[in-house]
């Protein structure tokens, strides 16, 4: 890539505006890199230019611009809503290491946001499918807790959890509006989770879920299913639907050690 002029996108067509037409790299790929650097520099915080403006600025076809923007959208850098100008995606407010036996409660508090829950259901019921996952008889009573989790007065997640009632029944008297499940489980039942297995998928929330989470129809979410154990015994089955625009998972990798899950030895503290 050739040298640039006073800034990306300034000056005449050619290497002056950051595009090297003699390079083997496609123009759309070069343009993608230039726009990414401008985004990282905060240049488009208020408004992102349209396709025509970018095509004129860089002296390229609109097809070249479209391909560059398509890649930026695929990488989650830009947000495109039907009938609207693209905009820079805001950074996730809450981040969590992949592989950590983490607490959503603690992650929210660590981000400096007030954590609050609206308790939808707290009762004892039977669920044959969940009971099987917990290694119990199909008719075994389960404590069921369903909450809408909020962070900073905005919905963050829909959280549903099942635990064996024989162990967790003391939690029926707990107030989960602003307290952690794992903290209450330890205080009231003497039970501390020490291991977990999760499956994480990207999903589009249903209309009902979007209404509860207050997200638009283009928004994606993370569907997180967790089996938690204590002393090798399955004691928790949980499903959490988290807004993808407010929550991010992180990991580290390097050429020397490869992919490494952050916090993989962290124990549950609260949730």
Long-range interactions of 64-73: CB distance < 8 A, separation 24+ = 64/27, 64/28, 64/31, 65/28, 65/31, 67/28, 67/32, 68/28, 68/29, 68/31, 68/32, 68/35, 69/35, 71/28, 71/29, 71/32, 72/32, 72/35, 72/36, 72/39
Residue 105 pLDDT: 54
- Distance from C-alpha of 192 to C-alpha of 173, rounded to nearest angstrom: 18
Residue 153 pLDDT: 82
Residue 7 pLDDT: 41
For the domain 94-260, what is the CATH code? 3.40.1410.10
Q: Which residues contact 206 (CB under 8 A, 6 or more apart)?
A: none
| Residue-range domain boundaries for the chain | 15-88, 94-260
pLDDT tens, per residue, the chain with 271 residues? 443 333 444 333 445 478 888 888 889 989 998 998 888 788 887 889 988 999 999 999 999 999 999 888 876 678 766 667 787 776 555 455 554 445 565 566 566 677 789 999 999 999 999 999 999 999 999 999 999 998 888 898 999 999 999 999 999 999 998 888 988 999 999 998 888 888 888 888 899 999 999 987 777 888 989 899 998 899 999 999 988 887 776 666 666 655 555 433 333 333 4
Spatial CA neighbour of 40 closest among 79, 74, 88: 88
- Distance from C-alpha of 181 to C-alpha of 271, rounded to nearest angstrom: 5
* Single pTM value for the model: 0.60
Assigned architecture for domain 15-88: Orthogonal Bundle (1.10)
Q: Which two tokens stand for residue 257?
A: 């050690």
If you ran DSSP here, which 8-state letter would residue 189 be given? Answer: H
Alpha-carbon Rg for the chain, nearest whole angstrom, is: 24
**Distance between the two ends of the chain, CA-based, in angstroms?**
49
């Amino acid at each position: 890539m050739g040298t640039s002029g006073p800034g990306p996108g300034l000056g005449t067509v050619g290497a002056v505006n950051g595009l090297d037409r003699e390079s083997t790299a496609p123009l759309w790929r070069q343009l993608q890199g230039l726009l990414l650097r401008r985004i990282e520099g905060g240049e488009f915080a208020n408004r992102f230019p349209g396709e025509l403006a970018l095509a004129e600025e860089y002296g390229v076809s609109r097809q070249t611009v479209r391909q560059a923007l398509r890649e930026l959208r695929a990488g989650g850098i830009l947000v495109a809503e039907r009938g609207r100008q693209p905009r820079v995606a805001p950074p996730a407010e809450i981040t969590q290491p992949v592989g950590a036996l983490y607490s959503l409660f603690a992650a929210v508090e660590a981000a400096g946001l007030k954590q609050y829950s609206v308790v939808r259901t707290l009762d004892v019921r039977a669920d044959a499918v969940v009971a099987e996952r917990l290694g119990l008889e199909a008719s075994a009573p389960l404590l069921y807790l369903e909450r809408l989790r909020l962070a900073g007065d905005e919905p963050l997640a829909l959280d549903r959890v099942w635990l064996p009632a024989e162990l967790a029944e003391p939690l029926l008297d707990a107030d989960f509006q602003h307290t952690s499940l794992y903290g209450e489980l330890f205080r009231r039942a003497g039970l501390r989770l020490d291991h977990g297995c999760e499956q994480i998928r990207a999903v589009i929330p249903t209309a009902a879920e979007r209404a509860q989470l207050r997200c638009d129809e283009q928004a994606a979410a993370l569907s997180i299913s967790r089996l938690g154990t204590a002393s090798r015994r399955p004691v928790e089955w949980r499903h959490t639907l988290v807004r993808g625009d407010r929550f991010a998972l992180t990991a580290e990798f390097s050429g020397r050690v490869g992919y490494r899950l952050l916090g993989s030895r962290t124990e549950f503290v609260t949730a």
